[in-house]
Structure formats: C-alpha cells, structure tokens
Structure 1
Amino acid sequence: MHTKINQSHWKKRIAYFLASQNISLFGSSVVGFAIIWHITLETSSGFWMMLSTICSLVPQVLISLFGGVWADRHNRKYLIMLADAFIALATLALAISFLLGFRRLELLLMASVVRSAGAGIQTPAVSAIFPQLVPEEKLTQIQGINQTLGSVLMLLSPAVGGLLLGTVGIVGAFFVDVVTAALAILVMSRISVEKVERVNPETSVWEDLKGGLRYTFGHRQLRNITICYIFSFFLITPAMALTPLMVERSFGSEVWRLTANEMVWTVGSLLGGAYVALKGQFRNKVRTAAVCLIAFGILFGLLGVSWNFTVYLVIMGLAGCFMPVLSTTQTVFIQEITEADVLGRVFSVIQLFSSSAMPAAILLFGPLADLVSVESIMLVCGGLLALVGLVYGFSERQPNKPVS
C-alpha cells in the first residue's frame, strides 16, 4: 500500500535517492570484482573462489530477515546511510591493513562477510523506501530508470575494477569504495523521509519477524510470488553460473569469449531497463512476469542448442532484456499490494527464499555439469522454467487495478 507523496518535491527527492544508491552500487561493484579477481590471481583455486562466494552471499541471506524488521521499525533513510557507513568502515579497515603489510586472503573473506551483512541490512530498506518517495503511478517508470542506471554501472565497474587492479592495485579499489560510500551518504542526507508509523509499536523483534513471515505467506498474492521466485531462481541458476563453462567447452576458451558472454547479458539488461522506463507502466504485472519467465525458459532452452557463438550471444542478449521487466514489475507489484508498515519484512522474506534457491541450485547443477553436458541442463531447466511461468500466470486470474 502506498504512502502519501508530496507531489511538488518527489522528483528532486527520487533524483537524489537514485544518485545516492547508484554511486554506492558502483563502488561496491568495483571492489567486489577486485576482490574476486585478486583471489583468483593469487590462488587460482576453485576452493578459494567457493569460500569467497559463500562469504559474499550467505551473510546477506541470513541477516536479511532482521534487515526487513529493522526497515519497518526505524527510519529507512538512516538505516540505509548507516549500512553504507558500516560497509565503508569495513573496507577502510581492510585498506589500512593492506597498506600496513597485512595482506592475508583471510582478511578479504572477513571483509566480504561484513560487507555482505551490511547489504542484508540495506537491501530491504532500499526496496521498501520507494513508495515513500514516488507516486504510485510512477513506481514502474522510476524502477525502470534505476534498472537502466544499474546496468550501465555493471558495464563500467568490471572495467574500472580491472584498471585499478592493474595500475594501483587492490588498495586503490578499496579507497574508491570508501569515497563513493561517503558521497552516497552525503547525497542521501539531503533527502527528507519520514519514519513509517507501525500498527503495533510495542512488539519485539522476534514477534515482528514472525509477523512478517505470517503476513507474506498468509497473503495469497505474496505467497504466489515467493513460491514462483523459489522455483524461478533455482532454474535460472544454470544460465547464471554455468554458461561460462558451456562457452569454454563448446566454443573456445579465449578470454574475449568469456567477456562477451558477460557483456551481452548486461547490454540486454540495459535495453530492457530503458524499455521499462519509457513504457512507464504495465497494467497486469502478474501476466507480464509470467511472459518474462516463459521467454526465459524458451531462450535458455535455445542456448542449449546454439550452433555457433554468434547465435549464442544474440540469444543471451535477448534473455537479458527480460530481466529488468521481470524485476521491476514484481517489485512494484509487491509495493502496491503490501501494507507500508510491513513492506521491509515482506521484501526480506522474499529475498531470503529467492537468494537461498541459487546456492542450493549450484550444489546440484555444479557437480551435475561434470556428468552431463551444460546444454542438456539448459534444455531441461528452460522447459521447467517456462512451465513455472505458465503456472504463475494462471495463479492470478484477476487483473491489477487500472492505471490512473
């Protein structure tokens, strides 16, 4: 459900907010790539890459439920700023340690844990704050603009991370993250955001946590979204994690091929985000999400039968176009149908289940890829993903409320 927006100032506030969050995202992405590549170059070890991935993902998943509770109990603006400061301080401590000569890889893992925990606090608050800043009829357009900006930064950050790592070393990347976090906090401080009034302000954190779970799974539409996300993220994982292996095995191990594999998805996401921003609204968001999932399923299946690398890249780029549409429509749909005082908890619950699906999937599909071809995995998962889209589309018969 939407909160009342001051129509005369919302554009300025959302501009500041998008600037703040994308500045922060850029710095985090740069240092994230730098850490991964530094560990890769230092160890050339799959075991260390596994440890790095776990340290970067698992803390965020575990703390996100509490992050949602805090987002509903406190002013979301200050929570976002504190999380940014928390992450920046951890990165600054890491930079100082490296400058003093303490360069053990374990320090990178510890910093990744702290940064991931900060993201778990910040992400539900960021998702929940949009309805406080943007009129309801503009939510989809603003989310599309945000997706486009994020895609541009995801194109730039690997290049910047690689440049810094090759010229001034990983410490330079650390300081970029500290500076961008400080800028993000400064910009965010210029926004006025009120604390959302709670229905039961006397309840404990644990009661709020259980209340968020009850609300999410007791709400038919939110329950359908959560179940859909669990299956979807599980089945999307092979396309996210195993396509570099598929490219190396089927088309060649040249570095430019692996780079192109990453870039065409991001370019597709950039185009998809621009389309959402220009379109501005989707009348039936469930049907739109279902079409996106069906398209993913078909395109991922086609990846499994690609006969040359050019065709493969075209299909991967097309698939990337659908991700911002899916993400935006479902995020806005959740914001529209959820009460303001539980919105943070609802986003954290959905994030918990969807994020947990991907590590579970890689535990299955990773070893399986050494027994069967990645192409066959893509074909099967693509077919099942299209089926999930069909079932989700039929699960929500009534249309969304008409656009005003």
Structure 2
Amino acid sequence: MSEQRSEQKSEQRSDRWKRNLLVFLGGQTVSSLGSMIVGYAVMWHLTVQTGSAAVLTLSVAAGMLPQAIVSVFGGVWADRHSRKLLIIGADSTIAAATLVLALLMLSGVGDLWMIFVAMAVRSALSGVQGPAVNAMLPQIVPAEHLMRVNGVQQTIQSGMMLFAPAVAAAVYASTGIVSVFFIDVVTAVVGVLLLLLVPVARTVRSADSSGPISYFGDLLAGVRYVKGNPSVRWVMGLVAVVMFMAGAPAHLTPLMITRSFGDEVWMLSVNELFWSVGMVLGGAMMAVFGPKVKRRVRLMVAASVGVSLLVVGLGVSADFWMFSIAGLVICILFQTLLVPAATVLQEQVEDAMRGRVFGFYGIVMSVAMPVSMIVFGPLADRFAVESVMVLAGVLLLGCLVGMLALGAARRSLATVDAAADAAVS
C-alpha cells in the first residue's frame, strides 16, 4: 500500500513539473513572439520612413547594447530577488513602454528618438529577463531533463524566427506600425498571466556571518566565481570564440550571394530560409538526442571545429546550393554547441550564483556578433567576401587548436564532461 502511495506521489510530481514547464514555455513563447514581431516591424518601418543606413545602425545599437550592459546587473538581481517577479516586472514594463509609444504615435507624435528610447528600454529589460529565465529553468525542470528542455526551447525560438517575419509583414503592411505595438502589449500581458500560474521557490542565499552583502559585493562575488571556476570560464570562452569568429560570416552571406551568385531575391530568401531551418533542426536534434550524450564538451568542441571548417567552405563555395547547405549545417552545429553549453552551466553552477553566471553569458551572446561585424565587416568592403570568410574560419580553427593545446583548458573541460557523465548516469 505504501509503495502504491509512493508511486502515485512520484507520478504527481512528474505531472506537476511538466505542467509548470508547459505553462512557462507557453508564456515565454507568446511574449517572445510579440517581441520578434516588433523587432522586424520597427526595422522595416525605419527603412521605409528614412532609407538611412545610419538610422538602421542606431536602431541596432539601441536594440542590442543596453541588453549587453544590463545583463551583468540583471544576473545579480536574479540571485538577490525573485526570478519570477523579475521576469514579470520586465515583461510588464516592456508592455507599458510599448503602449506609451503606441499611444503617442496614435496622437500624431512619432519622432525617431522616441522609437530609439523605446527600443533601448526594451533591450535593457531583456537584459534583466534573460538571466532570470535561464537561472529559473533548473528550478522548474529536473536536472536529467534540462538538455531536452533546452533543445525544445531553442527549437521554439528558432521556429518563431521563421514565423515572426511573416506575421510582422502582414500586420505592418495592412494596418501599420501602431497595430504591431498593440500586438506586443497583448502578448506580454498573456506571458505575465501564464507565468503567474507557475510556482517557483525563492533562491536561498547562503548564510554569511559577516552580515548582508552589498549589491556590488554580489557582483564582485560573481566575477570571482567565474574567474575561480575554470570549467565555467572555458565553456563560456569556447562559446565566445565561436560566436565572435562565425558571427560576421553569418551576416555576410547575403553580401556574398549578391556579389558571387546573383542579386535575385529568391536566392536571398533561400539563404535566410536555410539558416533558419538549420537552427530549428539543430534544436530539435538536441532535444531528441542531446540527453543521451555523456561527453558534452567533446560534442561542443566537435561542433566548433565543424563550424570553422564550414565557414571556410562558405568562402570557397562555387555553387549556390552547396553554399546554402553549408549554412544550414552551420546552424545545426551552432545549436549543437549552444544547447549543451547552456545545460552545462545550468547543471554545474550552484543556484545562488546561476543568475550572475548567466548575466555574464548574456553579455557574451549579445556582444560577440556585433563586435564580429565591427571587425570583419569593413574587411568585406576592402577585400572579397570569400577571403574574409576563409580568414574567419581559419582563425576560428587556430583559436580552437590553441585553446585545446593548453593543459589547463583540457583539464577544465574534462572536468565538465566527468560531472555531466555522473549526472546522466
């Protein structure tokens, strides 16, 4: 009889976390979809209204830099306060800022600086939301299911990248930018309401006999934790190197197509489709097969080497379809790197530090690609794009070889694999 009750309780716990996860992912998906729709629509609106490259550059800066700056502080907040309330607060404030902008534009006030301010506010609050979401996920999902859930989450995010532009185009073309803003307000409210249904325990801070720790004390503690934890440091370093070296080639593919294969619109569309489908396939593959992988770091390193070789392949491709397939496989390998990396950090970083670590990780993810474009982008205007891609791929391979040649790196990454092996078994 007692065994029967124990089995029933176990099934109830299993059903409970799955239900909580479904509600959580549902809310985040709806909220993220609204944000993506706004992002595409604003970009097109600024392009149509101004036709200025400088304006688009400012919009990219407003949409990305605040998140990179705030992420480190958002990580501290995620370890000091309720992660659930932080996500709710960020989503609610984003909705409020977007609603204010929509109402101002309805009244006839629509200066560019208002759009930039709204984008900067949204970006900054994403820097609060991101670390909280990543740090909270292990509080909802059992450790043995984290890899699968991360794969599912990445698949959903990538799938929305296929769906959001179509929705944004349809709404913007038929009713204008203000309607897009109202859609975002509604999706943010839905996300908040769904998250309210998910019970999440507060993070328990370790006792400290010296008294309460200041905010900056927590920030410095996070820096010391990353600095003093070689496994975390090398995993983040591996991701940073790949995203930096491969970031520009990913964004330069349309330029290479127009210069080398032709300026037909269908070619550019196929290129974007293949990269997006690759991200979806990669996430789905990690959701299905990722949990069975015990040597996660070896998988990440193999994916990184594959990316370096295929980036070189982009540069030497003489056929458009081979070029497109190479891009698709690169995106699959991106997911094969990023999903295990996030899972390793969620599993191995203690709960009280997880927000800060993901704050730093958010900086890596936000800054690597823009900096990559700053470095490699101008080279593409002076030299052939093919040469820039080959250079980026060779440099990435050289960095990986150099990293793995260091005994400290090999030992630290081996420690990650040993811990992951123990967790899976």
TM-score, normalised via structure 2 length: 0.91
Deviations 1:241-262 (A, max 9, x none): 2112112211222222222221
When structure 1 is superposed on structure 2, of 206-215 and 314-323 the one drifting more is 314-323
Of the three residues 241, 263, 268, the one matched with 2:278 is: 268
Q: Secondary structure at the match of 2:316?
A: coil
Verify the 8 A CA contact 1:300 1:382 in the aligned structure 2.
Answer: yes
Q: Secondary structure at the match of 1:101?
A: coil
Q: Residue 156 of structure 1 aligns with which residue?
A: 163
Q: Residue 323 of structure 2 aligns with which residue?
A: 312
Q: Residue 400 of structure 1 aligns with which residue?
A: 418
Deviations 1:227-249 (A, max 9, x none): 22332222012223211211221
Verify the 8 A CA contact 1:68 1:347 in the aligned structure 2.
Answer: yes
Of the three residues 307, 314, 332, the one matched with 1:296 is: 307
* CA distance, structure 1, for counterparts of residue 90 and residue 298 of structure 2: 35
Matched residues, number: 400
Matched residue type, 1:151: S
Tell me whether 1:133 sits opposite 2:140 in the alignment: yes
Deviation at 1:212, TM superposition (A): 0.6
Deviation at 1:179, TM superposition (A): 0.7
Deviations 1:311-357 (A, max 9, x none): 21111111111222211100000111111101000011122244333
Of the three residues 204, 207, 213, the one matched with 2:223 is: 213
Q: What is the aligned-residue identity percentage?
A: 38
Verify the 8 A CA contact 2:70 2:128 in the aligned structure 1.
Answer: yes
Deviation at 1:177, TM superposition (A): 0.7
TM-score, normalised via structure 1 length: 0.95
Deviations 1:261-310 (A, max 9, x none): 21211101111111111114121111111111111111111110111212
CA 1:325–1:16: 2 relative to 1, 3 Å: same
Matched residue type, 2:225: Y
Tell me whether 1:27 sits opposite 2:34 in the alignment: yes
Q: Residue 372 of structure 2 aligns with which residue?
A: 361
Q: Residue 4 of structure 2 aligns with which residue?
A: none
* CA distance, structure 2, for counterparts of residue 196 and residue 129 of structure 1: 9
Of the three residues 229, 249, 257, the one matched with 2:239 is: 229
Superposition pairs of residues 5-404 of structure 1, within 5 angstroms: 6-200=13-207, 202-281=212-291, 282-391=293-402, 395=410, 396-398=413-415, 399-401=417-419, 402=421, 403-404=424-425
Deviations 1:108-154 (A, max 9, x none): 11111000011000000011011101111100011111111111111
* CA distance, structure 2, for counterparts of residue 390 and residue 131 of structure 1: 33
Matched residue type, 2:414: R
Matched residue type, 2:256: M
Q: Secondary structure at the match of 2:414?
A: coil
- Higher helix proportion (structure 1 or 2): 2
When structure 1 is superposed on structure 2, of 232-241 and 294-303 the one drifting more is 232-241
Divergent runs of 4+, >3 A: 5-8, 387-394
Deviations 1:368-404 (A, max 9, x none): 1111111111111112223344455662234333213
Matched residue type, 1:38: H
Q: Secondary structure at the match of 2:62?
A: helix
Deviation at 1:8, TM superposition (A): 4.5
Verify the 8 A CA contact 2:271 2:324 in the aligned structure 1.
Answer: yes
Structure 2's unaligned 5+ residue stretches are 1-11
Q: Residue 6 of structure 2 aligns with which residue?
A: none
Matched residue type, 1:72: D
Task: Tell me which structure has the larger Cα radius of gyration.
Answer: 2
Q: Secondary structure at the match of 2:382?
A: coil
Q: Secondary structure at the match of 1:184?
A: helix
Structure 1's unaligned 5+ residue stretches are none
Verify the 8 A CA contact 1:232 1:388 in the aligned structure 2.
Answer: no
